[in-house]
């Protein structure tokens, strides 16, 4: 791996570490200050925000990163970024309307918090991250993100004093997205002669437009959207068939492994433009590197899962603590939910490789099959009144099915070439 790739992996991993670590550290403080009810209101709005962030992204960033990484014209990256912004204006309008109606449905504090969170939607939608990823220049992005997220956490501790400050917390959380994007654009303006670039736009006939960007992003979005349904379905099923204590334990364990999974995202984000460029230049070189990184992801994910099993007693004691749930049931949940970490990490890497290989049309079918299997399995569990053990098995089964199909196509694509 070259130095630029290693630098990008380190930069994004560093950002993701603090992006995950800081919120986890703040949770005990926020529950104590805002109360469990207050934090519950914010968490409900946050779930809606996180889902809508995938809508405003729509897979556009992944597609645009690939376009920027493979272009040889030095002016085209900014041209692509401009069209990305135009495209996301439409998606942003839909997302803001949805979060408004969600807040209106719950009313009261929910409506105000949802409206405040629209600031985060604006900031994330207009983020030029794809520009920095495509050019493989992520060090500045890492520094800016770290500074503002750390400052936001400090301000939360200083300014959030009681339940009435829930809106202050929502504003600090949301404004971070906006300020980071603003800083990145200031940096882009300083690094480029925009007047000269504007003249080049008029001379050159670039064919990248909003329609092609949406079409290119749809395949990855359809995968993210449908796979994003797995967790809500499982959580609501447990809420219907089990106690609230069981739901709490399931969510805590799931969140811990989700946090671990998020550390694979920056590695993949740094590797993706590198592989996209390699594929365009030399297929044999791309194939060798792709397989090498495949084993890297497999080794790290399996190693992470093994470590999680070793430290399981300490993790459960610290995060779950005393609970009426049987220790045996908690152990099964931990083991099976943890398995999803391995499959989700591999799916993240393989699906991005399928995008590079132009084999994405099958991904949504794999996810659809997995969703059907999940619903069928939960129906059987409900009909037979089976225990939480079987629900825990269903937590990793869909991602395992996706992996099986995707890996088969991944190998087949290499053989055909």
Of the three residues 154, 173, 207, the one that is the final residue of a domain is 207
Of the three residues 207, 238, 269, the one that is the final residue of a domain is 207
Contacts of 109 (CB under 8 A, 6+ apart): 41, 166, 167
Cα gap 344→300, rounded to integer Å = 12
Do both 51 and 126 map to the same domain?
yes
Mean pLDDT, range 353-365, rounded to an integer? 78
Flag whether 85 is in a domain.
yes
User: Three-state secondary structure along the chain?
Assistant: CCHHHHHHHHHHHHHHHHHHHHHHHHHHHHHHHHHHHHHHHHHHHHHHHHHHHHHHHCCHHHHHHHHHHHCCCCCHHHHHHHHHHHHHHHHHHHHHHHHHHHHHHHCCHHHHHHHHHHHHHHHHHCCCHHHHHHCCCCHHHHHHHHHHHHHHHHHHHHHCCCHHHHHHHHHHHHHHHHHHHHHHHHHHHHHCCHHHHHHHHHHCCCCCCHHHHHHHHHHHHHHHHHHCCHHHHHHHHHHHHCCHHHHHHHHHHHHHHHHHHCCHHHHHHHHHHHHHHHHHHCHHHHHHHHHHHHHHHHHHHHHHHHHHHHCHHHHHHHHCCCCCCCHHHHHHHHHHHHHHHHHHHHHHHHHHHHHHCCCHHHHHHHHHHHHHHHHHHHHHHHHHCCCHHHHHHHHHHHHHHHHHHHHHHHHHHHHHC
Q: Tell me, what's the pLDDT at 23?
A: 74
Flag whether 223 is in a domain.
no
Structural domains in the chain (count): 2
pLDDT in tens, 293-348: 999 999 999 999 999 999 988 888 776 666 777 888 888 889 998 998 899 899 98
pTM of the model: 0.68
Flag whether 217 is in a domain.
no
Of the three residues 207, 240, 257, the one that is the final residue of a domain is 207
Question: Average pLDDT, whole number, for the chain?
Answer: 81
Structure confidence at residue 195 as a pLDDT band (50, 70, 90): low
Flag whether 415 is in a domain.
yes
Biggest CA-to-CA distance, the chain: 70
Cα gap 82→346, rounded to integer Å = 32
Flag whether 335 is in a domain.
yes
Do both 384 and 287 map to the same domain?
yes
Do both 14 and 140 map to the same domain?
yes
Cα gap 359→354, rounded to integer Å = 5
Do both 244 and 179 map to the same domain?
no
Mean pLDDT, range 2-13, rounded to an integer? 65
Share of the chain above pLDDT 90, in %: 18
Q: Tell me, what's the pLDDT at 290?
A: 92
Flag whether 216 is in a domain.
no
Do both 2 and 67 map to the same domain?
yes
Give yes or no for residue 199 having a pLDDT over 60: no
Flag whether 322 is in a domain.
yes
Structure confidence at residue 14 as a pLDDT band (50, 70, 90): low
Cα gap 378→251, rounded to integer Å = 18
Cα 343-346-348 angle, rounded to 5 deg: 110
- Expressed as residue numbers, the domain containing 77 is 1-207
Cα gap 92→52, rounded to integer Å = 9
Structure tokens at 147: 């500074």
Do both 31 and 145 map to the same domain?
yes
CA distances from 399 to 161, 249, 329, 340 (A): 41, 21, 21, 7
Flag whether 28 is in a domain.
yes
Name the most confidently modeled range: 66-75, 243-252, 385-394.
385-394
Give yes or no for residue 33 having a pLDDT over 80: yes
pLDDT in tens, 219-268: 666 666 666 677 777 877 877 787 766 766 776 777 778 878 877 877 88
pLDDT in tens, 342-351: 998 999 899 8
Do both 177 and 233 map to the same domain?
no
Do both 190 and 238 map to the same domain?
no
Would you call 136 exposed, middle or buried from its count of C-beta atoms within 10 A (0-12, 13-18, 19+)?
Answer: buried
Do both 272 and 131 map to the same domain?
no
Q: Tell me, what's the pLDDT at 346?
A: 92
Do both 188 and 311 map to the same domain?
no
Do both 349 and 236 map to the same domain?
yes
Do both 359 and 400 map to the same domain?
yes
Q: Tell me, what's the pLDDT at 200?
A: 54
Cα 81-85-89 angle, rounded to 5 deg: 170
| Residue 252 CB neighbours (<10 A) | 18
Would you call 31 exposed, middle or buried from its count of C-beta atoms within 10 A (0-12, 13-18, 19+)?
Answer: middle
Cα gap 142→327, rounded to integer Å = 41
């Amino acid at each position: 791996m070259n130095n630029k790739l290693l630098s990008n992996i380190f930069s994004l991993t560093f950002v993701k570490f603090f992006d995950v670590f800081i919120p986890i550290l703040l949770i005990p403080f926020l529950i104590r200050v805002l109360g469990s009810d207050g934090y519950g209101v914010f968490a409900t709005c946050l779930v809606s925000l996180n889902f809508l962030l995938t809508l405003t992204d729509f897979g556009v960033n992944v597609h645009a990163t690939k376009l920027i990484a493979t272009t040889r014209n030095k002016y085209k990256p900014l041209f692509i970024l401009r069209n990305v912004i135009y495209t996301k204006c439409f998606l942003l309008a839909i997302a803001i309307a949805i979060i408004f109606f969600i807040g209106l449905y719950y009313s009261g504090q929910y409506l105000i918090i949802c409206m405040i969170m629209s600031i985060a939607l604006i900031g994330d939608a207009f983020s030029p991250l794809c520009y920095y990823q495509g050019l493989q220049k992520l060090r500045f992005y890492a520094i800016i993100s770290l500074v503002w997220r750390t400052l936001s956490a400090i301000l939360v501790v200083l300014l959030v004093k009681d339940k009435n400050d829930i809106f202050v917390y929502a504003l600090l959380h949301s404004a971070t997205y906006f300020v980071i994007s603003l800083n990145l654009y200031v940096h882009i303006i300083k690094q480029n002669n925009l007047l000269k670039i504007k003249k080049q736009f008029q001379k050159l006939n670039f064919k990248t437009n909003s329609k092609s960007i949406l079409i290119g992003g749809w395949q990855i979005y359809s995968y993210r959207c449908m796979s994003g349904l797995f967790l809500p379905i499982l959580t609501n099923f447990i809420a219907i068939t089990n106690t609230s204590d069981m739901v709490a334990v399931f969510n805590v364990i799931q969140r811990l492994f989700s946090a671990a999974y998020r550390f694979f995202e920056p590695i993949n984000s740094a590797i993706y433009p590198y592989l996209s460029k390699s594929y365009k230049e030399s297929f044999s070189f791309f194939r060798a590197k792709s397989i090498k990184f495949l084993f890297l992801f497999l080794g790290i994910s399996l190693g992470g899962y093994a470590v999680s099993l070793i430290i399981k007693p300490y993790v459960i004691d610290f995060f779950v603590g005393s609970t009426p749930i049987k220790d045996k049931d908690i152990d099964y949940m931990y083991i099976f939910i943890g398995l999803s970490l391995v499959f989700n990490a591999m799916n993240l890497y393989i699906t991005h490789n399928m995008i590079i290989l132009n084999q994405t049309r099958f991904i949504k079918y794999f996810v659809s099959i997995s969703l059907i299997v999940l619903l069928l399995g939960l129906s059987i569990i409900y009909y037979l009144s089976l225990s939480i053990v079987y629900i825990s098995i269903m937590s990793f089964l869909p991602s395992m099915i996706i992996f099986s199909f995707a890996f088969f196509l991944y190998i087949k694509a290499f053989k055909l070439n």
